[in-house]
Amino acid sequence: MTILVTGGAGYIGSHTCIELVKAGYDIVVADDFANSCMEAVRRTRKLAGVEFPFEKIDLTDYDATQKLFDKYQIDAVIHFAGLKAVGESGKIPLTYYHNNLDSTLSLLEAMKSHSVKNFIFSSSATVYGPEAPVPYNEATPVSRITSSPYGNTKLMIEYILKDEVKANPGFNAVLLRYFNPVGAHESGEIGENPNGIPNNLMPYVAQVAVGKLDMIHIFGNDYDTPDGTCLRDYIHVVDLAKGHVAALKKIKENCGLFVCNLGTGKGTSVLEMVKAFSKSCGKDLPYEFAPRREGDLPAFWADPAFAKEQLGWVAEKGIQEMCDDVWRWQSKNPAGFPQD
Ligand code: UFG
């Protein structure tokens, strides 16, 4: 079975490529390098032990996407490609809507004309919206709107896929709702490599640890949580990658629409995360409390029971392992991937 991995040079995509190869799948990787680079592909090939084909392609280009499907015999698509910075999406919403929606539509059109009927989509816990009770459960309806244009693109793509399943007999769409992916491959050869100053907690903390940034700013210490800082469900990227391999089993069962959380079921505070990372890097990391960040929810985590029941998948790696692996990646690659 050959899987097209879009965004396969990116953070979650690259780790998933390795797990797919391990599980015996053939892969074709497509990426436009908007937030990644060829060195990530080279290292992923090395870790996977396979020189899998790579295509540099902008998926919003419908003709180029059709040609990709002409060139390879694809059986399923795992669609990671997309813009993902929550804050940036509020500043350039049209770019986010255009990129994330057009690339998905272009893929779905190409799939239709090539009779490819299996699609796994990188969705997000953000689709539950601010009102959902925790832990987030798949039976909870999605929100009418999310807190960002980025989140809205996830919500809209979920609707597009639900409609396509209804209209196209035999079409399988798996919507995987990720919680907070962190961690890195245990080799320290690949990991998260954000452009510019990181927006997310883990890469920011890692860059303070390696001396690229001076100080961690903890956004809010007056939330109604045990230590006053926000709680999130951090999941190791390798566990998340394995969740995609498990989801392929559902595809083989012709699941139609299948929606599933990928999280651990545990909430960890920002302060706990900073302390765990300090242990990994062997020094107390400097932090200060800062005002709350607009749009942040106090606390959410997954109900992981459905994933266990349906996919036989459970996240195995804990917070300390996540921090140890990020530190290995960051300390081996203080400037991220070397530029080509
Ligand atoms: N935080 C800080 N300081 C920082 C960065 C983050 O204190 O420098 C805090 C945030 O306030 C939040 C927590 O760390 O409480 C986690 O923040 P992240 O930015 O790492 O992650 P979010 O939970 O905000 O966002 C994540 C994903 C999004 C997704 C969202 C909702 O990055 O893709 O969860 O599911 F939309």
**Containing H/E element for 55?**
strand 54-56
Looking up tokens 């400097």 gives 286
Tokens of 27: 């892969």
Distance 200 CA to ligand 1 centre (A): 5
Contact 3, 76 (CB under 8 A): yes
Quick one: pLDDT at residue 217? 98
Pick from 229, 272, 296 the residue to mutate for probing ligand 1's pocket: most ligand atoms within 8 Å of its CB.
Answer: 296
pLDDT-derived band at 89 (thresholds 50, 70, 90) equals: very high
DSSP symbols for 73-134:
--SEEEE--S---HHHHHHSHHHHHHHHHHHHHHHHHHHHHTT--EEEEEEEGGGG-TTPPS
**3-state SS assignment for residue 28:** strand
Ligand 1 atom 5: residue of nearest CA: 201
Q: Look at residue 214 and tell me whether its pLDDT is greater than 80.
A: yes
In the chain, what percentage of residues exceed pLDDT 90? 98
For ligand 1, which residues put their CB under 6 angstroms from it? 84, 86, 124-126, 151, 180, 199-201, 204, 217-219, 230, 232, 270, 293, 296
Ligand 1 atom 29: residue of nearest CA: 126
Quick one: pLDDT at residue 339? 78
Distance 267 CA to ligand 1 centre (A): 13
Quick one: pLDDT at residue 228? 98
Pick from 123, 140, 270, 319 the residue to mutate for probing ligand 1's pocket: most ligand atoms within 8 Å of its CB.
Answer: 270
Tokens of 158: 């979920």
pLDDT per residue over 321-337, tens digit each? Answer: 999 999 999 999 999 99
Q: What burial letters (b/e) apply to 318-334, b meaning 16+ CB within 10 Å?
A: ebebbbbbbbbbbeebe
Pairing of strands 180-182, 268-269: unpaired
Quick one: pLDDT at residue 86? 94
HSE-up of 172 (CA within 13 Å, CB side)?
20
Please report, to the nearest 10 degrees, the dihedral formed by the alpha carbons of residues 269, 201, 123, 106 taken in order.
180
Q: Look at residue 319 and tell me whether its pLDDT is greater than 90.
A: yes
Strand order in the sheet with 76-79: 54-56, 26-31, 2-6, 76-79, 118-124, 172-178, 257-262
Count, residues in the chain: 340
The mean pLDDT of 94-118, rounded to a whole number, is 98
Tokens of 225: 């949580």
pLDDT per residue over 216-236, tens digit each? Answer: 999 999 999 999 999 999 999
Average pLDDT, the chain: 97
The mean pLDDT of 264-289, rounded to a whole number, is 98
pLDDT per residue over 18-77, tens digit each? Answer: 999 999 999 999 999 999 999 999 999 999 999 999 999 999 999 999 999 999 999 999
Contact 320, 279 (CB under 8 A): yes
Contact 113, 66 (CB under 8 A): yes
Active site residues: 150
Rounded Cα distance, 324 and 10, in Å? 20
Q: Is the CA virtual torsion 218, 220, 222, 226 positive or negative?
A: negative
DSSP symbols for 146-199:
-SSHHHHHHHHHHHHHHHHHHHSTT-EEEEEEE-EEE---TTSSS----SSS--
Residue at 242: amino acid letter? K
Quick one: pLDDT at residue 274? 98
pLDDT per residue over 290-318, tens digit each? Answer: 999 999 999 999 999 999 999 999 999 99
Rounded Cα distance, 201 and 55, in Å? 31
Quick one: pLDDT at residue 93? 98
